[in-house]
Chain A
Amino acid sequence: MSAMLLNKEKWPDFVEKLAGKTIWAPQGEEAEMRFAPVTEGEAPALEYGNTRVPPKQAVFPQTETMFRFQLGGEELEIPKLEEEAVLLGVRPCDARSMAIVDNLFSWDENDPYYFKHRELLTLVGLTCTEPGLNCFCTSVGGGPASKEGLDLLMTDLGDQYLLEAITEKGEALLKAAGEVLEDAGDEQIKEKERLTEEAAANIKRNVNPDGIPEGLPGLWEDPLWQRVSASCLGCGTCTYLCPTCHCFDIQDEVEGFSARRCRTWDSCMFNEYTMHTSGHNPRPSRRERTRNRINHKYSYYVDKFDVIACVGCGRCINLCPVNIDIVDILRQVKEAL
């Protein structure tokens, strides 16, 4: 796969080469908040830490219409997904989360909605040179320049970006933008490696997950769950802002005679998440729900798909209203083992 250079002055020209695709990027005043389709004439910003809301919404929207129907009718109208999109400046942790979640959505059947979005999406990543306060990607198999899940990786080298194609999609993108690019040499690759190492060294938080996946089942009734969940408010912040959390609910929404079936994000931190019709709830309190969140990421998923379902982006730590800190919980888990 090839590596090219893009002079920053030619950034708008490069973006122009993506014409025909919807470009998702952090932009404007809301840049800190989320990735959103770029409005015409506005240059996508790349100088941001990471968005609060992960870009998983590009492949797993918070609300997805599965089909529409009329009450009493027999026709199902299935929305056509055909718009190609580019996620521009996605962080390696978030791209990696998609590679991880692919396992789930292709487990028994390929989820048609998820994979259609995936197929139409090109992921253009940006190497992290300034890790955030609660980043711990290097503890869970990622890194500031991890290529997993990405089609193309950009690295900010000061006046220019280094562009490395990772997949055929990425290669095609480089080809399409060929005229605004120059060939990259070993020097730039080395510089990128230096920046990556520097960034990795700047990651302050860490936990060694060795032994956690195998050990968690034995801690089922450990008092640590009561301790770490005591202050939990039971809100959906940690799960909704998690790039790998993928639980959903399916509901029919009826207005008059028109209806649609849609799938929306769900959260294991909500009381009604596993509530049975009978009123019985197998996870009746925040203790069981917190235990589930950690077990799902660090035990069940590993058991099933051989990968930890946490990319160490730190969002759940940054934004928990009551300082429930997954790194801290994992340390307590290790102590209890």
Chain B
Amino acid sequence: MDLDKLRETAAEVAARDDVKYLIGWEKGSYGYRVAPAFAEDADGTADMIFSPLCTANLATYLTLVEKLPLPRGQEPDNRKVALMVKGCDSRAVAQLLVEKGIHRDEVVVIGCPCPGMVDPALLSEKYPETEEIAELKWSDDGFIIVRNGEETAVPREELLAEKCRLCRYPNPVVSDIMLDEPVESWEPAEDEEVTEIEGKEVEGRWDYWQQEFSNCIRCYSCRNVCPLCYCQDCILDRINPSWVFRSVNFSENTAFNIARAFHLAGRCIECGECERVCPANIPLGKINRKLAREVRDKYGFEPGLDPESEPFQASYKPDDPEDFIL
């Protein structure tokens, strides 16, 4: 992607009178890190980038923003929020629109057609991170790591993130401005990880998740990073009554993880952020993708594609299958 064009467009949008701020990506403070960046004016966009390291789904900031009580006499700032989105991120925006979590006139969506992100954990494992800020670029058949002026070419398959292997929508489905020509979609890989777990006996599955959920430290980074986990009053924060106890053990951790997963059934757009941010390396993507598979197979429904559609849980068709209802 042409970064000059990206920055030029971002500067124009950030300078607009009807735009409060623009959210994009910037190089981080060291190594491979990329940080979300907030620009209130054109100057703030000068260092913005789009690279294979821009995994963060910025759509989460649309609903994460705190609406504080205003001093008497002060009017709320109702200007638009502009944000850059990849294909998967745009599906989160579309799903938020479907659920009326946001309204179309509140956002300016800048689409970044996405050739696929690297898996940051895999990248650090194979090409250890150093304190020098490194860059990644796309090449025709993979990625190029640029560090201290030296370029290392890496085949696509070696570092491509799992969610990107499975991706069916690399081009933004909602956008006001597109930064580039659409990328050519690739044949999504078979989701073997989910198939493998489906193939296990119930006990085997239980053991597997018992092990994984026992590692959960309940930091709730998976919930907070999720663009579609935006309840004002989350079941997990409730104290009286306490639906899920604060104590950290397999039982409560499982209650939390199941609640999180089920609340995303038919809503998760598979951006993979929950799994990326989990400090305990719990493969949350597998749970979400299993539920997405169920919804896709049973109802032929995929969330976050058409902002005009109805939410999956709130729609009904006379020919909905019922064969699995006891």
Contacts and interface: CB of A to CB of B under 8 A. Distances in A.
B242 A235 contact: no
A229 to B, nearest CB: 10
Interface string A226-267: 000011011111001100000001010100000000101101
Contact of A233 (B35, B221, B245): B221
B60 interface: yes
B314 interface: no
B13 to A, nearest CB: 17
B56 A322 contact: yes
Contact of A328 (B29, B61, B217, B219): B29
Given A53-B217, A62-B217, A323 B247 contact: no
Given A205-B131, A236-B219, A236-B221, A63 B277 contact: no
A325 interface: yes
A328 B31 CA distance: 13
A253 B56 contact: no
A172 interface: no
Nearest to A64: B247
A62 B280 CA distance: 15
Interface in B215-233: 215, 217-221, 223-225
A285 B35 contact: no
A235 B220 contact: yes
Interface residues of A, number: 40
A253 B29 contact: no
Interface string B42-78: 0000000000000010001100101010000000000
Contact of B225 (A205, A284, A321, A328): A321
A176 interface: no
Interface string A302-328: 000000000000000001011111011
Which of B64, B131, B215, B220: most chain A CB closer than 10 A?
B220
B218 A236 contact: yes
Contacts of B129: 133
A251 B30 contact: no
Which of A62, A205, A237, A253: most chain B CB closer than 10 A?
A237
B249 A63 contact: yes
A96 interface: no
Contacts of B248: 62-63, 264-265
A74 B218 CA distance: 33
A205 B276 CA distance: 25
Contacts of A267: 219
A272 interface: yes
A33 interface: yes
B277 A321 contact: yes
A114 B66 CA distance: 36
A237 B38 contact: no
B125 to A, nearest CB: 11
Contacts of B56: 321-322
B246 A264 contact: yes
B68 to A, nearest CB: 5
B158 interface: no
A271 B230 CA distance: 13
Contacts of B279: 52-53, 237, 240-241, 319
A264 B61 CA distance: 29
6 contacts: A33-B280, A237-B277, A240-B217, A284-B68, A322-B35, A325-B29
Interface of B: 28-31, 33-38, 56, 60-61, 64, 66, 68, 129-131, 215, 217-221, 223-225, 237, 239, 242, 245-249, 273, 276-277, 279-281
